[in-house]
Structures are given as structure tokens and as C-alpha cells.
Amino acid sequence: MKQFIIGYVLVVGIITNVLLQDKELEESMQRGSEIYADFCITCHLDTGEGVESVFPPLAASDYLMNKREESIFGVKYGRSGDMVVNGVTYSNSMMSMGLEDEEIADVMNYILNSWGNTSDKIVTVEEVSGITR
């Protein structure tokens, strides 16, 4: 009986935690989608497919999914120089959009969890703040 109660509490606790995180992620993604439509869509397009050889894709992008820190850095400070995404080299530059850390976390959560992309770990403001030059 005692084991059952402990087990029950544990299970409920885990489910609650997951649901809360889901809600947090969902809200962050919602805010992120507005940032995306405002700052990113002109180049990376509505479906995140970008323009081959010009603007790299975000949807099913190996760079985005495997290089989380570099991706956040790029959104925060801009980036230039060659980058290889899904085997294609992009030599364009992206300037810093001047977003606040909270907005960067939101838009990262949006692009990491849209168009078939999924990420296990939510991007937090603290994580963005911790990435510096």
C-alpha cells in the first residue's frame, strides 16, 4: 500500500511536471511565432524552408538541431562566413536583429518545435543570457 502511494504520487508528479512544461513551451512558441513573423519570415519563409544557397532552411536543418548554442549565438549577435546546412554551403550573413533574450528564447522554441522539428529541452532566458561573445 505504502509503495502504491509513493508510486502514485511520483506518477502524478511527473505527469503534472510534463504538462506544465508543455504549457510553458506552448506559450513560449506562441510568442515566438509572432517574433518569427516579424523578424525572420522575410528570409527563412513561412515554412522554414529558406531559399537554397541563399538563406539556409530551419525546417529539418541539421545545423539548427545539432548546433543549439551556435544557433542561439547567431540569432543573438548575428553571424557571417560560410556555414554548411544539410550539405549545402551558405556564405550569406545574418545581422543581429536586436532581440531581447526573452524574445530569442521564444523564437528558438518556435523554430525548434515547428515544421516537423522537435526538441527535448525548452530554451530558457537563462540559457540565452549565458551565451556571450
**Closer CB to other proteins, residue 35 or residue 72?**
35
- For residue 91, the minimal CB distance to other proteins (Å) is 8
SS in 3 state form for the chain? CHHHHHHHHHHHHHHHHHHHHHHHHHHHHHHHHHHHHHHHHHHHCCCCCCECCCECCCCCCHHHHHCHHHHHHHHHHEECCCEEECCEEECCCEECCCCCHHHHHHHHHHHHCCCCCCCCCCCCHHHHHHCCC
Min. distance of Cβ 104 from other proteins in angstroms? 12
CB of 96 to other proteins, least distance (A): 8
Residue 27 or 38: the one with the smaller Cβ distance to other proteins is: 38
Report, in Å, the least distance between residue 14 CB and other proteins: 38
Compare residues 13 and 78 and give the one whose CB is closer to other proteins. Answer: 78
- By the criterion CB under 8 A, which residues form the site for other proteins? 37-39, 41-43, 45-47, 51, 54-55, 80, 91-93, 95-99
Which CB, 39 or 68, lies closer to other proteins? 39
